[in-house]
A = this chain, B = another copy of it.
């Protein structure tokens, strides 16, 4: 990016303000600083942003993009700023285009089983609004209370219920997006089936703000299931045994809505945080499972399979309050683990289902070999794991942590997995593009980016190299 004189800087700011009449523009203030580096100002290695622009409407988005085009400024789209992969932090000289004020649920149609929302709507707010009308919004990332639908779309966010209802990509029917040149596109629509054009809706889902600004999202809602909600826990000797048990459950034909794994260390951390007493030893792993629409038979068959798989402490409940506590425990997992150290990285990889046991076993090996503290939890039923690596004393990850992550990524790829299951790529992983996707796909990704954003102003250096 060019270096601008004070005069040019003032001219740019005047132009931006004129083009965005309904925006709140923050420059050099606390708000600008806070949002420039994912809420951690001290980590602001990316340098200083030009402005943090909270747009008030579509015209403000258009005006922000016009300014960015005119002065070749990078634009970083942001909603709730919860990226775990440095996907929405400010870049030196950039405009952070915050969509968080665009948080209206524009329509919630029971009859069409869909909602039309602005990108800043918080996932949980949408789900609650739907439940009031007998429907629900299925995708439930752990960040559900704080993350936005716009962000969920940008990362193709997952969650616990992916097992039954798929990820964000499986729950979006249509999008409105604004391209870097200000053109608005309507992609997809309001129907469950669509086979007309190339599936540009899916191309935008998970594109991390690099192809356009998502201005409206039509999501699928589902009627609340009428059957029994059942939640249970079980303990295994270790994560490898748990992974094997999960594979048996998964292949049983039972219709689980949740199959979540917590390793022994995570359970200990949770016990500390929640003042509970689940941990048997630092090695014994915990499975939290559930049905949102169970038959009479399903809990019984689950119990039988769990016992055959060597599980103990099996506790299955239909009690709503007890179940809520268990699910809250799973949701609190991150906070409990992060409380163990000031410095951590949570990773996110997915492996083919049969490789889950091998992968969790390997994580244990790497922790020992690299002498790194690793807490592992994950959506076991999807083969999706979140090892969290902790360290002390310094903000930047030490070499043994970096090497541990490298080893985990290599192993994931060698097992036919992906190093991003549901957290996307951001700046944390895009240097792995050729290794995961190959150089031909890498090249094609750049050609696609070039169609939508020929000036390269949208979230540069993220997603693709």
Contacts and interface: CB of A to CB of B under 8 A. Distances in A.
Interface of A: 109-114, 134, 155-158, 162, 166-167, 169-170, 183-187, 189-200, 202-203, 205-207, 211, 223-227, 247, 250-255, 293, 295-297, 301, 348, 350-355, 379, 382-384, 416-425, 429, 433, 436-438, 440-441, 444-445, 447-448, 451-452, 463-464
A383 B451 contact: no
A158 B247 CA distance: 29
Given A191-B421, A195-B421, A113 B250 contact: yes
- One complex includes copies of this chain to the number of 2
Given A252-B223, A254-B226, A203 B206 contact: no
B195 A418 contact: yes
Contact of A354 (B112, B187, B207, B352): B112
Contacts of A252: 223, 226
Contact of A223 (B251, B418, B419, B445): B251
Contact of A226 (B225, B297, B355): B297
Contacts of A192: 162, 350, 353, 382-384
A351 B190 CA distance: 8
Given A205-B199, A226-B254, A251-B223, A350 B113 contact: no
16 contacts: A111-B251, A112-B353, A114-B352, A155-B195, A169-B199, A189-B416, A191-B384, A194-B421, A197-B441, A198-B207, A198-B445, A199-B206, A223-B253, A226-B297, A227-B295, A295-B296
Contacts of A157: 195
B187 A441 contact: yes
A156 B299 CA distance: 36
A154 B351 CA distance: 27
Contact of A193 (B158, B203, B223, B444): B158
A205 B202 CA distance: 10
A185 B444 contact: yes
A14 to B, nearest CB: 31
Contact of A451 (B134, B162, B444): B444
Contacts of A422: 193, 195
A425 B196 contact: yes
